[in-house]
Homo-oligomer: A and B are copies of this chain.
Amino acid sequence: MGKNMLICQSGGPTAVINASLVGAYQRAIQAEEIEEIYGGYNGIIGVLREEFIDLKKQDMIIEELQFTPSSALGSCRYRLAGDFKHKDYQRIFQVFTAHNIGYFFYNGGNDSMDTAMKLDKYAKKIGYEIKIIGIPKTIDNDLEGTDNCPGYGSAARYINTCILESAFDCYTYSLDTIMLMEVMGRHSGWLAASSVLALHNNEHILDLIYLPEISFTIDKFLSQVKDRFKEKKIIFIVVSEGLRDEKGEYFLAEQALSSDQFGHSRLGGVSLFLQDVLEENICKRVKVVNPGILQRCATHCASGTDLNAAYWVGYKAVEFALKGNSGYMVGIRRISNKPYQWNIELVSLDKVASREKKFPLEWIVSEGNYVTREAIDYIEPLIVGNVNAPVWKGLPRYHTLKKEFIPHKLPLYKVEDNC
């Protein structure tokens, strides 16, 4: 008799995270070794709480979920303790045992890979037979061990679409205008850098890009914007939400109202602050575009390449587990840019967990306000390809799973978390 499989999603939403769920599901239903396919509700919290959704018993066609944004299984930002003596570990493996879980997949960013790594190590320590594989996803693209992270390409496509359309909005009037767009990315400039792609008449629309990797000062900013504004009546600027000052602190750190559990500062307001500064010093017409959460859930604008990668990392994760691998993340290895070719390989979770892949400094021009040809060549293929997702009454047809949990086998367990 086979074992059961459990898959969870964790961390922030992306436009294509459910494609990984569908990929994993489609590989799993072909496997004789796998009996039941469960989804844990709200990531590792659903494991602690023993809240499992039976994916084989949904009314819907699971396949359609691949065109639905955000985690269909819910998410969390819960971090497992560093100490294996913490009661969470015992609980998780009681739950695994009770439900005969022999395959566990955790789909998320670097914090999630930390969870997967710890569970794999704990399982080996106590001799529990399980295959644990991490599946990458994050719009931030900051995971080590993978060429790119599913979710990034779609966010990049959406952001560039916003830039393109905002630019055409600005072209409408022959007025001096600065368009300022704020792009997500707390710690790294991957997403802000991606905004370079949008073209008008074969020239890049963006004039200036400010990334967290380069220290930001108002004086330098104003001087660079002024220079560019002298040449052109209408200019376009992208700033990362994660801009840092010369001390490496968040620019506008006083606005960082609180910190979440992982020590991330909540950010906001960079673009509104800079709008005031620009309007006072350079140009009265400053248009701010801040897509906010829209950039991480815009499946209607998803990249086909990205959705495809999301599907296959899910599919291959299960396949690698079936071959007996555990303690790895599935990573994308790029073979070539043109044509864009890649395959999927295993990367030890030790090399991924809780690390952040920074945007390469050598891909930033010496003035610190733009990216190089290498960066463009890297990002370009990731936004290509349409997704012909189902539409209903003029809107994307998105689905949710029934939130019916399989029967509990263990006593309730209290989780200290707000998810």
Q: A-side interface residues toward B, CB under 8 Å? A: 12-13, 42, 68-71, 74-76, 157, 160-162, 164-166, 168-169, 171-175, 197-201, 287-294, 296-301, 303, 305, 380, 383-386, 391, 393-396, 398, 400, 418-419
A171 pairs with B70, CB closer than 8 A: yes
- What are 10 A-B residue pairs whose CB atoms fall within 8 Å in the complex? A13-B169, A71-B172, A157-B395, A161-B395, A161-B396, A165-B294, A169-B293, A200-B398, A291-B294, A385-B394
B383 pairs with A395, CB closer than 8 A: yes
Residues of B within 8 A of A394 (CB): 157, 160, 197, 303, 305, 380, 383-385
Residues of B within 8 A of A289 (CB): 292-294
The oligomer's copy count stands at 2
A168 pairs with B201, CB closer than 8 A: no
In the assembled complex, the Cα of A309 lies from the Cα of B106 at a distance in Å of 48
Residues of B within 8 A of A13 (CB): 168-169, 172
A382 nearest CB across to chain B (Å):
8
Residues of B within 8 A of A75 (CB): 172-173
A393 pairs with B42, CB closer than 8 A: no
A345 nearest CB across to chain B (Å):
25
In the assembled complex, the Cα of A157 lies from the Cα of B301 at a distance in Å of 14
In the assembled complex, the Cα of A25 lies from the Cα of B13 at a distance in Å of 45
A69 pairs with B398, CB closer than 8 A: no
A173 pairs with B419, CB closer than 8 A: yes
Residues of B within 8 A of A303 (CB): 394
In the assembled complex, the Cα of A168 lies from the Cα of B69 at a distance in Å of 6
Residues of B within 8 A of A391 (CB): 386
Q: For A384, give the chain B residue with the smallest CB separation.
A: B394
Residues of B within 8 A of A164 (CB): 395-396, 398
A297 pairs with B165, CB closer than 8 A: yes
In the assembled complex, the Cα of A292 lies from the Cα of B383 at a distance in Å of 24
B419 pairs with A174, CB closer than 8 A: yes
A299 pairs with B165, CB closer than 8 A: yes
Residues of B within 8 A of A157 (CB): 394-395
In the assembled complex, the Cα of A380 lies from the Cα of B392 at a distance in Å of 11
A391 nearest CB across to chain B (Å):
6
In the assembled complex, the Cα of A293 lies from the Cα of B163 at a distance in Å of 11
